[in-house]
Structure 1
Amino acid sequence: MYALPDILFLSAVLAVRAQFVPPSEGPLVASTNYVGASNGSLSKTQVVTGKAFNRFITIWFENTDLSTANSTTTFDDLANQGIRLDQYCSLTHPSQPNYVASVGGDFFGMWDDSLCHIPPNISTVVDLLEEKNISWASYQENIPFDGYEGLSFSSKNYVNTSEPDFVFYVRRHNPTIIYDSVASEPSRLSRHRNFNDFAADVNASALPQWVIVTPNMLNDGRNTSIDYSAQWLEYWLVPLLNDTNFNDNSTLIVLTFDENESDNENNCVLTLLLGGAVPQSLRGTTDLTYYTHYSLLSTIEANWGLGSLGRGDTNKTLSNVFSFVAEATGYTNVNVSSNDILTNATGTIPGPLNPVLYVPFTAPNTAAVGAGGGPVFIGPGMDTSFTVAVAPSPVNLTAQNKTVPWLGPRNGSNAVTNSNGTSGSGTEKSGNGAIKMRGDIVHAAAFGAILSSVAAVLA
């Protein structure tokens, strides 16, 4: 229990400290607040034309209930420029498995944010894109250098320079780097870039066709609030919407959240579709179709006629294609309600990353047909006969004093020392619903507890 002076102090800290500070003069201006200087721009590549869009950009935010995000003016203003998806749901808790599933079609029983890696014969969206020569990149705001694989990275606290270094970057929000099929190939590993690289790529008209964007741990709302994230959007995204190097008439931008904040309700999150590819007639509308993070995969599969991963991206109940894209591609969605499907559980799904319900990695469903109509991608070395049907029953490794084989860094992964001298692999970890305090930033959950305590004391 907090004493009243502590409560008032912490409340004052949040009110004073959690004010948005732009990391640079603009989204296309290089910043010394990022450890890594740009390595120059990517090479321009030939555009592969899609049926509804030619560029797909996903921007991720953190841990916010649908009702909270819907009450924010900036998100509301942006929704009036695009399509609001009010039945879009995350898949589980906490953060990392949602990110992992969005690019690999499964979270493999993962139930926490620990450092892990996924073996090289497990395919991802990168395999599907590269089969069709579609360019891609992951932009992580404070990643210290291209391809950094550490669990977290602390750098100078540009929000409050009198405070210690802050954990701005975490690996768990950088999903493609968690897969060895991506990280073990230098050409792929190097496509995990920071925001100085992003500025260079946009300025050079070299932004790839498939892009994932993760703001740092303040700007994504993880250690601040939805209002802080809204200020970041005003600084970063709103100007870019008018830049044709970022958003032209064939660009689809998806704003979404990894998960909601409330474990005791369904895991729906606000998601907006923006960009020049959104039909004028649909701007300012609300789409009530049921979607999940697997829809990020099925939508690009349908758009570019890609193959599939044979996992959650081919589960037709969970992977509806964004409606205007489904219409453009002739795909038929399934009529289902988010009220019928609960995706708020933690740790209850057996898998190779669940130490209590452990089963080995299994092959994808090679007979599945995804929204793009192409074949299931089979990673090199995949034993296609080892399916879910023949896998052994789940076992509790912890009861046997064993650990999941895929926890920890991959062999040969890089390492770095943080700017404050601590290990680059880090120990930054948060369980779902944890109250975290670092420097002078108070997590929104902690602030809620503080206010509740204040109310109780003053009542």
Structure 2
Amino acid sequence: MKRKTIAAGVAVLTAAVLAASPVSSLAVTSHPSEDAASHSVRYQHIVEIMMENTSYSSIIGNAAAPHLNALANRYGLATNYYGVTHPSEPNYVANIGGDYYGIQDDNQFYCTPAMATSDPMCAGTTVDHTVNRPNLADQLTAANKTWKGYFQSLPPSPATLVTSGPAANGPYTFKYPSNSNALYASKHNPFLNFRNTQGALDNMVPDTQLASDLAHRTLPNYSLVVPDQCHDMHGTGPCSDTTGLISAGDSYVNDMVKTIMASQTWRQGNNAIVITWDEDDYSDSGQPGTGCCGSTVGGGHVVTIVITNQKHPRHIIDNTGYNHYSLLKTMEHAFGLGYLAHAGDSSVPAMTRLFRTNKH
């Protein structure tokens, strides 16, 4: 969560820099059919809304979040769900990659250990922040399925793109519109951390495009919706009051859910909306019991709500121990894909109950 000053050293984007590695080299640790706990339902669309830095107890029962509590009381609520580590960036990476690959900071996605002393945005970097491993988007592409990241306050992309240093622009911007008012932050865009997807600019769009895609029935199979830091409960610049942030995030989620559920796309096939948080508020950082699924220390206890488009909504309270790897495993199975990295661990349960349907 530390703010860093931007250093010199500009790298102009070229096809060579962002050339994707062959998707055919995807490595999976197991296939969905090998997991007896997995459900058999396939999904056409899953929209994941990723919120920020708020503990479970700060949301459930909080009068400042009436819409989130209403959704939790009407649909599926995972009461024992955890982030996998701190801070934000590694949780976003883990969420689509099945591992955070040693990343333990919010440094720029291009940072390497060699840059730790030359670029202030890379201070303390111990591992490469661009990962040459597959993620969920790669899997979907290889399976002829689609994906997109919808980012609120996404910086516009100029004709000449720069991927690092003080002139980084477009989605590669460290913080936008400024370091002190960082509505958009690249640390919340995990597609930048993976070599295969960091150049997929057509798949990183403003969140306002979601309504248009719904209207034109072009919603991708997987959508990652990331509000800006005044609406994801994180806070920046002019928005720092905790109660105000929770209220703003609650309203954002409510508007987004309403937009999705009002669409024709939502009513056809099997579809789901997942609302989750990257990590908690650090109140229990480093303490045992802040993780699950084989980990004693994780990213803290957070709310996760699952809404499916069933004819008759089921209110489910699920106290199984889950984390971001569980969600990835479940989404991979829902799309008929194999499991990446820790999503394939036997200690990581699929979120079967919350995604099971009773549609007729």
Asked whether the two chains share a fold, i.e. TM above 0.5, the reply is yes
Query: Who is 1:350 aligned against?
Result: none
Pick aligned residue for 1:289 from 320, 325, 337: 320
Structure 1 residue 226, shift from structure 2 partner: 1.6
Pick aligned residue for 2:153 from 142, 147, 158: 142
Q: Which moved more, 1:319-328 or 1:257-266?
A: 319-328
The alpha-carbon distance between structure 1 residues 236 and 324, as it changes in their structure 2 partners (threshold 3 A), is closer
CA distance in 1, matches of 2:131, 2:82: 28
Query: Who is 1:76 aligned against?
Result: 69
The amino acid that maps onto 2:58 is: T
The amino acid that maps onto 2:136 is: V
The amino acid that maps onto 1:106 is: D
Query: Who is 1:56 aligned against?
Result: 46
Q: State the aligned residue count.
A: 265
SS at match of 1:74: helix
Structure 1 residue 179, shift from structure 2 partner: 1.0
CA distance in 1, matches of 2:141, 2:131: 16
Query: Who is 1:199 aligned against?
Result: 211
For residues 38-53 of structure 1, what are the structure 2 equivalents within 5 Å? 51-53=41-43
The amino acid that maps onto 2:262 is: N
CA distance in 1, matches of 2:356, 2:210: 30
Q: Look at both structures and tell me which one has the larger radius of gyration over its CA atoms.
A: 1
CA distance in 2, matches of 1:199, 1:324: 26
Deviations 1:392-439 (A, max 9, x none): xxxxxxxxxxxxxxxxxxxxxxxxxxxxxxxxxxxxxxxxxxxxxxxx
The amino acid that maps onto 2:351 is: V
The alpha-carbon distance between structure 1 residues 301 and 235, as it changes in their structure 2 partners (threshold 3 A), is closer
Conserved 8 A contact 1:251-1:275: yes
Query: Who is 1:99 aligned against?
Result: 92
Pick aligned residue for 1:230 from 250, 253, 264: 250
Query: Who is 1:260 aligned against?
Result: 280
SS at match of 1:272: strand
The amino acid that maps onto 2:309 is: G
CA distance in 1, matches of 2:220, 2:139: 15
Conserved 8 A contact 1:52-1:325: no
Identity of aligned residues (%): 26
Q: In the alignment, does 2:347 pair up with 1:317? A: yes
The amino acid that maps onto 2:92 is: Y
Structure 1 residue 236, shift from structure 2 partner: 3.2
Conserved 8 A contact 2:192-2:198: yes
Q: In the alignment, does 2:201 pair up with 1:189? A: yes
For residues 374-385 of structure 1, what are the structure 2 equivalents within 5 Å? none
CA distance in 1, matches of 2:338, 2:259: 35
Structure 2 regions of 5+ residues with no counterpart?
1-39, 111-128, 158-169, 291-299
Deviations 1:287-312 (A, max 9, x none): 11111101222112222321232x11
Structure 1 residue 68, shift from structure 2 partner: 1.1
For residues 7-46 of structure 1, what are the structure 2 equivalents within 5 Å? none
Please give the TM-score of this superposition, normalised by the length of structure 2.
0.67
Structure 1 residue 208, shift from structure 2 partner: 0.5
Greater fraction strand: 2
Pick aligned residue for 1:269 from 302, 323, 348: 302
CA distance in 2, matches of 1:181, 1:260: 29
Structure 1 regions of 5+ residues with no counterpart?
1-49, 156-163, 329-459
Query: Who is 2:123 aligned against?
Result: none
Structure 1 residue 326, shift from structure 2 partner: 7.0
Give me the CA root mean square deviation: 2.5
CA distance in 2, matches of 1:319, 1:112: 27
Query: Who is 1:336 aligned against?
Result: none
Please give the TM-score of this superposition, normalised by the length of structure 1.
0.54
Q: In the alignment, does 2:309 pair up with 1:298? A: no
Conserved 8 A contact 1:63-1:258: yes
Deviations 1:122-160 (A, max 9, x none): 1111121112111110001111236622212117xxxxx
Q: In the alignment, does 2:231 pair up with 1:219? A: yes
The alpha-carbon distance between structure 1 residues 51 and 145, as it changes in their structure 2 partners (threshold 3 A), is farther
Conserved 8 A contact 2:109-2:192: no
Q: In the alignment, does 2:109 pair up with 1:88? A: no
The alpha-carbon distance between structure 1 residues 229 and 247, as it changes in their structure 2 partners (threshold 3 A), is farther
